[in-house]
Amino acid sequence: MADDRRYKVFTLKNIQAPTFTMTALELKEYINFTVKRVYFITSPKGEMKSGNHAHRAEEDELFVQLQGQSTIVVDDGHGLEDVVLSGPQNAISVPHMVWHGFKDMSQDCVIVAITSTNYDPVRADYCENYEEFQKLLKEE
Amino acid sequence: MADDRRYKVFTLKNIQAPTFTMTALELKEYINFTVKRVYFITSPKGEMKSGNHAHRAEEDELFVQLQGQSTIVVDDGHGLEDVVLSGPQNAISVPHMVWHGFKDMSQDCVIVAITSTNYDPVRADYCENYEEFQKLLKEE
């Protein structure tokens, strides 16, 4: 992936302990923000998708595919791309001004999101219109 | 639970979105430390257990039972107690000097640990002997 890419895909190391599998993230290796919120996406149903937005200026996120599979659709200025994530070994950092949404989540999909903001119900930081997102990118 | 209890059990709110279940933790409501590491316990096998130690002075943790069930055995100075955790609605904060270990993990058990330290392979902060832990408690 070229250096001008804003998102980054990681392959995590799974440690096989005698009685469980351990997957550990030393956060300084993955993010450069203070974690304010952690949220979990489980039990997908219907269209098996979520999201499709970018954060304008504030929210940076790290997504961990902890179980099952999903495809995250991202655009960091290079057009829409599909990135397939498999658990428990994939994570992807998605800073603000990267369009992102999940699709094709498997029945057993578990996604952990580690984020830089507390949730704002006003959603002022959310850009949920892809055409507007492309305009914002050009104005940067 | 009395005020002198060092651990705290939480019931998390699950939001039923149209295409998934969302469980969100605004961390300031659960912990008072900066998150340095996140680790995951999945695929239990054999004795279906993990842990059994206390952290002497440094590591504070929040455990989220994200899927399945487990029993966390804790001792915060009131003797060993079993706390049953069910996912995705239970979490427990376990500060340093609280003995803790998991047992009876279900096959589908997924535990997320949110912690205050980077991992130290020397494990100087770990007290893994229960008798020593009881002595340390008395010396406090």
Q: What is the ipTM of this complex?
A: 0.94
Angle at B54 between CA B78 and CA A65, to 5 degrees: 115
% of chain B at pLDDT higher than 70 = 98
pLDDT at A140: 87
Cα–Cα distance list, B91 to A110, B10, B14, B31, B66 (Å): 17, 5, 12, 11, 8
Cβ separation A35–B17 shorter than 8 A: no
Least CB-CB distance to B20: which of A27, A42, A88?
A42
Quote the mean pLDDT of chain B.
95
pLDDT at A70: 97
* B14/chain A closest Cα distance in angstroms: 9
Would the pLDDT of A130 be above 70?
yes
Q: Which residue of B has its CA nearest to A31?
A: B36
Q: Is B35 on the interface with A (CB under 8 A)?
A: yes
A-B Cβ pairs (cutoff 8 Å, strict): 123
- Has residue A3 been placed in a domain? no
Cβ separation B27–A49 shorter than 8 A: no
Instruction: Find the length of chain B.
Output: 140
- Has residue A119 been placed in a domain? yes
* B96/chain A closest Cα distance in angstroms: 19
- Has residue B98 been placed in a domain? yes
- Has residue B21 been placed in a domain? yes
Residue A137 — very low, low, confident or very high, per pLDDT cuts 50/70/90? very high
Distance CA A59, CA A11 (A): 23
- Has residue A37 been placed in a domain? yes
Q: Which residue of B has its CA nearest to A107?
A: B20
3-state secondary structure at position A101 = strand
Cβ separation B24–A42 shorter than 8 A: no
Would the pLDDT of B1 be above 70?
no
- Has residue A23 been placed in a domain? no
Over residues A97-126, the mean pLDDT reads: 97
pLDDT at A118: 97
Q: What CA dihedral angle connects B126, B129, B133 and B139, to 10 degrees? A: -100
Q: Is B11 on the interface with A (CB under 8 A)?
A: no
Tell me the residue range of the domain where B17 lies: 8-139
Instruction: Find the length of chain A.
Output: 140
- Has residue B1 been placed in a domain? no
For chain B, the domain total comes to 1
Would the pLDDT of A79 be above 70?
yes
Residue among A91, A78, A118 at smallest CA distance from A10 = A91
Residue A2 — very low, low, confident or very high, per pLDDT cuts 50/70/90? low
Quote the mean pLDDT of chain A.
95
Q: A29-75: per-residue pLDDT in tens?
A: 999 999 999 999 999 999 888 889 999 999 999 999 999 999 999 99
pLDDT at B113: 98
Contacts of B89 (CB under 8 A, 6+ apart): B11, B12, B14, B23, B65
Which DSSP state fits A26?
Answer: E
% of chain A at pLDDT higher than 70 = 98
Residues 68-87 of A with CB under 8 A from B: none
Over residues A113-130, the mean pLDDT reads: 97
pLDDT at B4: 84
pLDDT at B2: 54
Would the pLDDT of B26 be above 90?
yes
% of chain A at pLDDT higher than 90 = 93
Over residues B81-89, the mean pLDDT reads: 96
Would the pLDDT of B85 be above 60?
yes
Distance CA A10, CA A92 (A): 6
Q: Is A30 on the interface with B (CB under 8 A)?
A: no
pLDDT at B75: 98
Provide the CATH number for the domain around residue B57.
2.60.120.10
Cβ separation B19–A67 shorter than 8 A: no
- Has residue B2 been placed in a domain? no
* A102/chain B closest Cα distance in angstroms: 11
